[in-house]
Amino acid sequence: MLRKKIAVIAGDGIGPEVIAQGLRLLRAVPSLELCADEFPWGCEYYLRTGKMMPDDGIATLSGYDAIFLGAVGAPGVPDHISLWDLLLKIRKSFDQYINLRPVRLLRGAPCPLKNARREDIDMLFIRENSEGEYAGAGEHLFPGRPDEVVLQTGVFSRFGTERVIRYAFETARRLGKSLTSISKGNALNYSMVFWDEVFREIAREYPDVETHSLLVDAASMLMVLHPERFGVVVCSNLFGDILTDLGAAISGGMGLAAGANLNPEGRFPSMFEPIHGSAPDIAGRGIANPLATFWSVSQMLDSFGLFDDAAKVLAAIEDVLTDGRVRTPDLGGTGSTAEVGDAVLRAYTARL
């Protein structure tokens, strides 16, 4: 029996609705003795206390094996405050520099691309998750004046760029897949020229890995027209953010896409979350799709070394999708979040 202590931050909007289902599933894993502490941090907490989390929030979280997060963001609180003071603060404080986002068409998942076969859509995005366009460096000068100027500086350190690209090469080698680097060196003449250089340098250490280098505009076109060209993909923080929503769109929608924020060395806890937001347009109605959250549970189990259970969770999601009777409205059904949760739990238990 493996004992793990996780911190749960359900957050805002549909966050608590989908996290409740994810927790049910985690508690049903026979080989896992789970201790889950829930923290009421998020936008409501902010409106009450003026903070997204307490001052010692990061210190508190550092004592956990993993963090399970729903979603952050609510209409009454500026997004740059709510996200920077909670989600991005955790990613950065815990040096979760790898954001692992599978873009895979699961068995039974709907796909809007004509003629795409299931095996054509099987990518693994490795998004740089600690710096780049999300460094938070910048300046706002002379607000309100005609000469007002705003700077938002991308920060690409050699250390940060090398480590994510090296991680991507290791992953591609392990999986026996090609590695595509996505950048924009023709316009971003400092940051992305550097990114491409580092990619070429590190590629020399991995002659066995097939590599491709694409510009981000062309890459987004190819993801739609030729998704089969992608295996493992490595890209900067912002490009990874944008392209993985596109990836979600071609592989079942936002209700299905998951992401792991990893500190690979394990010096700090990693964080697991659906990649969608708080979806204020459907929050509180009990119709949010919990499948992305289940997939993030599978990623968490993987990180715990419970590979068999992780695979069974993914297979259970596929069973429910293939069966097709219980689906939330985003997938064309009339089912509720809890009904999909019941179905996945049943399918998982049946596989034990």
- Name the residues annotated as catalytic: 134, 184, 217, 241, 245
CB of 277 to Mn ion, least distance (A): 7
CB of 127 to Mn ion, least distance (A): 10
Residue 120 neighbours by CB distance under 10 Å: 17
Cβ 107 vs Cβ 117: under 8 Å: no
Residue 29 neighbours by CB distance under 10 Å: 22
Does 132 sit near ligand NAD (CB under 6 A)?
no
Does 241 sit near Mn ion (CB under 5 A)?
yes
Q: Three-state SS for 53?
A: coil
- State the binding partner of 345 from ligand IPM, Mn ion, ligand NAD, none, CB within 5 to 8 A by kind: none
Q: Which ranges constitute the DSSP H helices of the chain?
A: 15-27, 43-49, 57-61, 79-82, 88-93, 158-175, 191-203, 216-225, 237-250, 291-303, 307-323, 337-351
CB of 275 to ligand IPM, least distance (A): 5
Q: Which is nearer to ligand NAD, 280 or 286 (CB)?
A: 280
Exposure on the CB side of residue 144, measured as CA atoms within 13 A: 0
Q: Which is nearer to ligand IPM, 131 or 319 (CB)?
A: 131
Compute the distance between CA of residue 27 and CA of residue 305 in angstroms, rounded to an integer: 16
Residue 26 neighbours by CB distance under 10 Å: 21
Binds ligand NAD (CB under 6 A): choice among 254, 311, 315, 338 = 254
Binds ligand NAD (CB under 6 A): choice among 25, 282, 317, 340 = 282
Does 323 sit near ligand NAD (CB under 6 A)?
no
Q: What is the CA radius of gyration of the chain?
A: 20
Cβ 340 vs Cβ 290: under 8 Å: yes
Q: Which is nearer to ligand IPM, 106 or 275 (CB)?
A: 275
- State the binding partner of 58 from ligand NAD, Mn ion, ligand IPM, none, CB within 5 to 8 A by kind: none
Q: Which is nearer to ligand NAD, 161 or 289 (CB)?
A: 289
Which residues are at the interface with ligand NAD (CB under 6 A)? Answer: 14, 18, 71-73, 79, 83, 87, 254-255, 273, 276-282, 288-289, 292, 328, 330
Which residues are at the interface with Mn ion (CB under 5 A)? Answer: 241
